[in-house]
Amino acid sequence: MNTGPGNLFTGFLEDFYAEGEEHLASARRNLLALEPLAGRQVTGSAIEELLRSFHSLKGLSAMVGVNEVTLMAHVMEEYLRDVQTIRSNVEPAAIEALMDGVHAMEEVIAARRKGLAPPDISSVLNSLKLTAAKGITEIPTDTVSTPAGTAWHFSFVPSAELSDQGINVGVVREKLKEVGVITRASPRVLNSGIAFDFVVSTEKTAAEIGTLIPLGVTLKPAEEPTLASAAAEAPATAPSNFVRVEMQKLDELMRLIGEMVISRAHFDETIRSLENRLAHGDFRTLQEVHARIERQLRNLRQAVMQVRMVPIAHIFERMRFVVRGLERDTNKHVRLEIKGQDTEIDKLIVDRMLDPLLHMVRNAVSHGIEKEGIVTISARTAGERVIVEVQDNGRGIDLERVTAKARSAGVIGSKDSVDVAGVLEVICAPGFSTREGADLTSGRGVGMAVVRSTIQELGGSIELETAAGEGTKFTVTLPLTLVILDALLITLCGQRFAVPQSEVREILAVEALAMRRLEKTNLIPYRGGVLPVIHVSEFLKFNANFAEPQATIPRPRIHVLVIGSEGKAVGLIVDKVTGQREIVVRPISDPQLRIPGIIGATELGDGKPVLIVDAEVVARLAGQQKEAFR
Amino acid sequence: MKAHLAAAHTYILFQIAGTTFAVHSQSVDRIEMIEHVTPLPNAPRFIDGVVFTRGQVIPALNLRCRFGFERIPPTNRTRLLVIGKPDRMVGLIVNSAREFMAIMPDMIQPPGESLSGLSGEYLQGTVTVGERIILVVKLEEVIRLSQGMEEIRGGA
Amino acid sequence: MRKILIVDDSTTMRRMVTASLRNLRDVIFEEASSGLDAIERLSLNPASLMILDLNMPDMHGLDVLRFVRSQQVNHNLPIVVLTTRNDAASRSAAKEAGATLYMTKPFDPAELLNAAGNLLEAKS
């Protein structure tokens, strides 16, 4: 099937993932619309759109070599084509199989994106083939009703002049949709050139219509009432007012903003240090300019955040499939209620919340609900935060079972027991749940510990309420604001710190013996010359009487972060460099507390704050300190 | 926790060095166990460090230290009072905070000379309940950091 | 300068076709995402070659093909139909409607490049 496009098209994988997601989202919507129990109006175009989605997926996946999707899309398309030919509707069992297919495609794409092996699709593929082979019983489709109103004819003759003014057939069609329902659209040859004819049904008056149609479009009422011969005009594939942006570009924007946040902090520091050296009026002016920049930067950050916001419906809707699958696997009857799906949240958070949400919903169905019940997922904004809740009306968490499991897993002592206040802690303890094997509906056996650390890494928190016989509710609070930085993780005075990677030009490991002292400065050999180095620990004064972090122990090798540009470079001596990570910057919640050299803190997944050190400021201030004591 | 008491005049009581202090409950967002305090370098003496709670990084102020006492190691009765104002959030480390008491404004006597060692600027007044003397704290002053900041600026 | 009009409702597919034909000399590319769009563009700016997907929402590719052929000015326009359907019936229907060449997806970029090159040369 894959005729060997070779390397040329693997560069299009990202495009495929993005467009594939759109097609899968559309397919999901249309499949849900076809369900007899969905209680929604079946549009005649749902099957049409499904066909197009699978057809596109088949073609694209074959080009980029994601064969699992191609195989499934092929069977699904063939089946739906038969359904369409017989003018039937899709029976519930077939809808199930198709939904499984869509879900499997999502899993394949997700796996490929992460560079993992795709899950086994043979069972899904078989059930699809069986569905197709079973033949189709004719089920009458809902008749497409005649659009109300009068039918009007519109003609549009395209020309270079109109095109220059931005008026082309796509725009005309959009405008006509505002007028009413387009029942026919076709081209016509003229003596020179072409024209497009549209028939639109609407209840609007001629005057109203006149104001809506653009230049270049003429209208006249139809001579006789025109019945809607075809189904209502299928929607355009992409609204014209949107731009598709790669997530990478938005991440880059956020990264740049993160760097500006640090620069602004530098700027603030510098201004303060000038207080005694400037005339008071000038100092005030500088402060005002800084305040303005701070405001503008915050607005910029908000604006970029807005661009990255997507409705949480993205992941909420996927839960429908999950619940359906779980219903079958566990033989229970579960109704899923979704609220607040229009709540918007940063796309990065949405993407990372999929697995935790999956796990919580799965918990609710597998453990919470006995035979029958309702799972509710909801989202709402509260100030600067978004609150997501997953609730079931099942039996509540069985504390005795949890206690037993915790004891046997060694999470608690054999004499201890678990109460309502402590149950979240226990189920999130590492070691409490074991890794289950991967399968299409289990969410890959992600334990609650990873759920919590994922949420915390995003700057959020999770809480749990449960009552016997009433149910269980997980409440997840997530921030709307994120600033992301690439950081180096280092150890200083025995404590972990993070340093923005953009500030560090190089990392050196040098023999301690190579360090020389010249007057009050320490030097090490560097690129044919010397580099002044500073022990950062000298600059960091921790409170006396506090659990003292170890003082710097002399080591055979010293680790140096090179900060600053040519000629003005300085080396900061740290205990060691332990790694590199993308971190979320959390400002310290008290603006009155300003520590020169500390930008904020982050959290690496264990709940312990890690301070973010501004290396450039430290280098400068430590240098000044030396000056002062000369 | 606070729901069943009239919030307007409810105070949270905590102990330091055998003395009972009271803080107006409305200023206190919540009371938490202390998980992990990351030491904060170059910070005012009385700030132990920062803690991570509900997705935010807040400074933890050691009240013993603030009031001039020696630090003691934390016990499992040590608590963090999270003070949330519109523009800042601060945590106060206290030993045990479990009592609630309704204190009417007219019960509070202005702080007298007899209070030894404790800076009058941190106290709103005293309340006598039976045999107990309770010191009512002026939260704004306690959590004001600008003086503390002066201290370290002088040094650097 | 010769213009190649690429008609497909999938953005990714259009990009892949463009990428395959990038090495052709003296060509510029124009894209259309729907049948009506393609017809309009052709009427405003003649093309030297059209690559046409059949499966489109507003007007089926075969209807687009027939209409375009019905215009005198497009009688000799080389049109490559690019589609996933591989059966004999679809092939002959496309040929009858006026396709110059019929290629299936997934396509071999070398083959497409070759075919496009030949068609452009033949026309000039």
Sort A546 into a burial class: Cβ within 10 Å, 0-12 / 13-18 / 19+.
middle
The total number of residues written for chain C in this structure? 124
Long-range contacts of A396-404, Cβ-Cβ distance < 8 Å, separation of 24 or more: A396/A368, A396/A466, A396/A467, A396/A468, A396/A469, A396/A470, A396/A471, A396/A472, A397/A367, A397/A368, A397/A423, A397/A464, A397/A466, A397/A472, A398/A468, A399/A423, A402/A426, A402/A427
pLDDT tens-digit profile of A212-229?
777 777 776 554 433 333
pLDDT at A73 (0 to 100): 93
Compute and round to an integer the Cα radius of gyration of chain C.
Answer: 13
The total domain count for chain C is 1
Compute the nearest-CA separation of C15 from chain A (Å): 8
Residue A567 falls in which region: left (phi positive, over 0), alpha (psi -120 to 50) or beta: left
Residue B2 in any domain: the answer is no
- Report the candidate in B127, B54, A576, A173 with the shortest Cα–Cα distance to residue C57: A173
Residue A87 to residue A99: CA distance in whole angstroms? 21
Tell me how many degrees the CA angle A106-A111-A117 measures, rounded to the nearest 5.
130
Same domain for A56 and A163?
no
Which among A252, A451, A241 is positioned nearest to A348, based on CA atoms?
A252
Nearest CA distance, A31 vs chain C (angstrom) = 18
In eight-state DSSP terms, residue A416 is -
User: What's this model's pTM, rounded to 2 decimal places?
Assistant: 0.49
List the structure tokens of B124: 């709103």
Say which residue the tokens 């007219």 belong to.
Answer: B106
Backbone dihedral region for residue B15 (phi beyond 0: left; psi -120 to 50: alpha; all else: beta): beta
Its domain, for residue C109, covers 2-123
C-alpha A504, offset from chain centre: 29
pLDDT tens sequence across C24-38? 988 999 999 899 999
Tokens (6 digits) for C119: 């068609």
Residue A435 is predicted with a pLDDT of 43
CB contact (8 A) between residue C12 and residue A1: no
| Chain A residue with minimum CA distance to C32 | A170
Identity of the residue in A477, A546, A590 whose CB atom sits nearest the CB atom of B58: A590
Determine the residue of chain C that is closest to A190 in CA distance: C71
Domain count, chain B: 1
Domain of B60, CATH number, reads: 2.40.50.180
Inter-chain CB proximity A495 and B38 less than 8 Å: yes
What tokens appear for A197 in the block?
């004819």
Nearest CA in chain C to A169: C37
Strand partners, A184: A199
Extended strands (E) in B36-143: 38-39, 47-53, 56-62, 78-84, 89-102, 123-129, 132-137
pLDDT at A625: 62
Chains that touch A (3 or more CB pairs under 8 A): B, C
Distance (Å, whole) CA A359 – CA A375: 13
Band the pLDDT of C49: cuts 50, 70, 90.
Answer: very high
Q: Using an 8 Å Cβ cutoff, are A34 and A46 in contact?
A: yes
Domain limits for position A120: 6-133
Both A298 and A323 in a single domain? Answer: no
Look-up: residue for tokens 């693997």? A10
Number of residues that this document lists for chain A: 630
Strands (E), A483-552: 484-492, 495-500, 504-511, 516-518, 521-526, 529-535
Q: Within 10 Å of residue C88's Cβ, how many Cβ atoms? A: 7
**3-state DSSP of A593-630:** CCCCCEEEEEECCCCCEEEEECHHHHHHHHHHHHHHCC
Q: Does A625 touch chain C (CB under 8 A)?
A: no
Provide the phi-psi class of A101: left if phi over 0, else alpha when psi is between -120 and 50, else beta.
alpha
Across the interface, of C16, C37, C55, the residue whose CB is closest to A63 is C16
Neighbours of A249 (CB within 10 A): 9
Asked if A234 and C44 come within 8 Å (Cβ–Cβ), the reply is no
Closest Cα of chain C to A193: distance in Å? 6
Looking up tokens 């206190």, which residue turns up? B28
One domain for residues A322 and A304: no
Q: Are strands A495-500 and A609-613 parallel, antiparallel or unpaired?
A: parallel
- A445 and A316 within one domain: yes
Query: A624 vs chain B: nearest CA distance in angstroms?
Result: 9
CATH number of the domain at A325, please: 3.30.565.10
Those residues whose C-beta lies under 8 Å from the C-beta of residue C93, and which sit 6 or more positions away, are C62
Asked, for residue A166, whether it belongs to a domain, the answer is yes
Selected for mutation to probe chain C from A16, A51, A55 (highest C CB count within 10 Å) is A55
Look at residues A414, A448, A479 and tell me which one is the last residue of a structural domain.
Answer: A479
- Contact yes or no, A with C (3+ CB pairs under 8 Å): yes
Residue A496 lies in a domain: yes
Residue written as token pair 């009581």:
B13
Query: In this structure, which amino acid lies at residue B124?
Result: Q
| C-alpha Rg value of chain A to the nearest Å | 31
B to C contact (≥3 Cβ pairs closer than 8 Å) = no
Residue B4 pLDDT:
42
Q: Which tokens in the block code for residue B151?
A: 């201290």
- The helix/strand count (H/E) of chain B reads as 3, 10
Give the closest residue to C78 by CA, choosing from C102, C96, C61: C102
A390 and A502 share one domain: no
pLDDT confidence of residue A232: 33
Residue A236 within any structural domain of the chain: no
Residue of B42, B64, B65, B151 to mutate when probing chain A, most A C-beta within 10 A: B42
Which positions ≥6 away from B42 have C-beta within 8 Å? A539, A540, A541, A595, A596, A597, A598, B152, B156
pLDDT of C79? 94
> Is there a domain that residue A241 lies in?
no
Q: How far is B85 from chain A (nearest CA, A)?
A: 10
Answer whether A163 touches C (CB < 8 Å).
yes
- A169 at interface of C, judged by CB pairs closer than 8 A: yes
Residues A316, A455: one domain? yes
Q: According to the model, what pLDDT value does residue A108 have?
A: 92
- Domain assignment present for A12: yes
Give the count of domains, chain A: 5
Nearest to B88 among A542, A591, A596 (CB): A591
CATH code for the domain in which residue C44 is found: 3.40.50.2300
Read off the tokens for B88: 């800042």
Residues A335 and A411 in one domain: yes
Q: Do A586 and B57 touch (CB under 8 A)?
A: yes
Would you state the pLDDT for residue C50? Answer: 96
Give dist(CA A105, CA A118) in Å, integer.
Answer: 10
Structural domain contains residue A468: yes
What is the layout of strands, in order, in the sheet containing A181-189? A181-189, A194-202, A150-156, A217-221
Residue C29: its pLDDT value, please? 93
C-alpha dist (Å) from residue A566 to A59, A563, B54: 53, 10, 43
ipTM score: 0.86
Q: Name the pairing type of β-strands C79-83 and C101-104.
A: parallel
Cα→Cα distances A614→A269, A502, C68, Å: 11, 10, 65
Listed in sequence order, the residues at least 6 apart from A583 whose beta carbon sits closer than 8 Å to its beta carbon are A484, A485, A486, A487, A498, A602, A604, A610, A612
Rounded to whole angstroms, how far apart are CA atoms A254 and A484?
7
- The secondary structure of chain A in percent helix, strand, coil, rounded to multiples of 5, reads 45, 25, 30
Cβ-defined contact of B38 to A601 (cutoff 8 Å): yes
pLDDT digits (tens), chain B, 156 positions: 334 445 567 888 888 888 889 998 888 888 888 888 999 988 888 899 999 887 788 999 999 888 888 888 888 888 899 998 766 789 999 887 778 888 888 888 887 665 555 566 788 888 888 888 888 988 888 888 765 454 444 333
The reply to whether A59 touches chain C by the CB within 8 Å rule is: yes
Q: Are A427 and A405 within 8 A, CB to CB?
A: no
Look at the block and give the residue holding tokens 């979704």. Answer: A338
Residue B129 in domain:
yes
Residue at token pair 């704290």: B137
Please give the structure tokens belonging to residue A419. 């109460």
DSSP per-residue string spanning A24-57: HHHHHHHHHHH-GGG-SPPPTHHHHHHHHHHHHH
Does the residue B14 lie in any domain? yes
Mutation site, A462, A482, A574, A590, interface B, largest B CB count within 10 A: A590
Give the distance from residue B55's alpha carbon to the nearest chain A alpha carbon, in angstroms: 4
* Chain B residues lying within 8 Å of A589, measured CB to CB: 56-59, 88-90
Q: What is the pLDDT of residue C21?
A: 93
pLDDT single digits (tens) C76-117: 899 999 987 777 888 888 888 889 999 988 888 888 999 999
Helix axes A45-64 and A67-85, enclosed angle (nearest 10): 150
- Give the residue numbers spanning the domain of B29: 7-155
Secondary structure (3-state) at C6: strand
Residue numbers of chain A with a pLDDT score lower than 70 = 1-8, 36-44, 86-90, 135-148, 220-241, 430-431, 433-446, 481, 543-554, 566-567, 623-630
B34-61 burial by CB neighbour count: b if 16+ within 10 A, else e? Answer: beebbbbbbbbbbbbbbbbbbbbbbbbb
Residue B118 located in a structural domain: yes
C19 has a chain A CB within 8 A of its CB: yes
pLDDT given at position A42 = 43
Residue A137: predicted pLDDT: 58
List chain A residues with CB under 8 Å of B51.
Answer: 609
**Chain C interface includes A185 (CB < 8 A):** yes
Q: Looking at the structure, do residues A457 and A565 belong to the same domain, yes or no?
A: no
CA B18, B24, B25, B28 torsion-angle sign: negative
- Residue C4 pLDDT: 94
Of C36, C84, C109, the CB nearest to A55: C84
User: Does B1 reside within a domain?
Assistant: no
